[in-house]
Chain A
Amino acid sequence: MEAVQIVGLGFIATLLILVIKGQRPEFAVQLSLACAVIIFLFILTKLEAVISLFSDLADKARISHVYLNTILKIIGIAYITEFGAQICRDAGEGAVAGKIEFAGKVLVMIIAIPIIALVLDTVVKLLP
């Protein structure tokens, strides 16, 4: 049922944006931003169930929560930066979108540093 709601929301937002875009492009950008945020919020509340399932599975497999949390953080950063970059690109600011994506990549790298260091440590220990 949620799928129909989201498609309807997207259609209505698209029609409203088409009406507005001719006279006031700045309102069209805000309209598309609001639509994107509403759909995101709608789907994020559903995502909590999936994430709790994953953490249960990690508990059962006795995987440390550090790894799962790192992956979740990376997914979150990727989500947010992609969202911002898409909005900027829609508004015609490809340069700003590129900067946001670059910042997101750097932040993901920073979060992944402990795991990379761990892998390197393991490899060094294995070597004679």
Chain B
Amino acid sequence: MGLDILFKIAGVGILISVFHTALKQAGKEDMAHLCTLAGFALVLFWVVQLLGRLFNTVQEVFKLF
């Protein structure tokens, strides 16, 4: 469970940087920025889910209610 999300995030990052370069070369700056934003939002979605799990676990373990 641990490694696959790291590889997913890194893969999205590399892919987005390639897309960004390609779109920039094609002269579509706004599309390149939208592409970066979409990738960022996708990764943020995963990371926020992970963070929610972490906070729930911490609350359970340390009885922080």
Chain A residues engaging chain B, CB cutoff 8 angstroms: 9, 12-13, 16, 19-20, 23-24, 26-28, 30-31, 33-35, 37-38, 40-42, 44-45, 47-48, 51, 69, 72-73, 75-77, 79-80
Contacts and interface: CB of A to CB of B under 8 A. Distances in A.
A74 B5 CA distance: 31
B58 A80 contact: yes
B3 A26 contact: no
Contacts, number: 96
Interface residues of B, number: 33
Given A24-B36, A76-B59, A40 B54 contact: yes
Interface of B: 1-3, 5-7, 9-10, 12-14, 16-17, 20, 36, 39-40, 43-44, 46-47, 50-51, 53-55, 57-59, 61-64
Nearest to B65: A73
Contact of B61 (A9, A13, A48): A48
Given A45-B57, A47-B61, 6 more contacts: A16-B10, A27-B10, A27-B16, A40-B58, A44-B54, A76-B63
B59 A34 contact: no
22 contacts: A9-B3, A12-B6, A16-B6, A16-B10, A20-B14, A23-B13, A27-B39, A28-B13, A31-B10, A31-B13, A34-B50, A37-B50, A37-B53, A40-B54, A44-B58, A44-B61, A45-B57, A73-B64, A76-B58, A76-B63, A77-B64, A80-B55
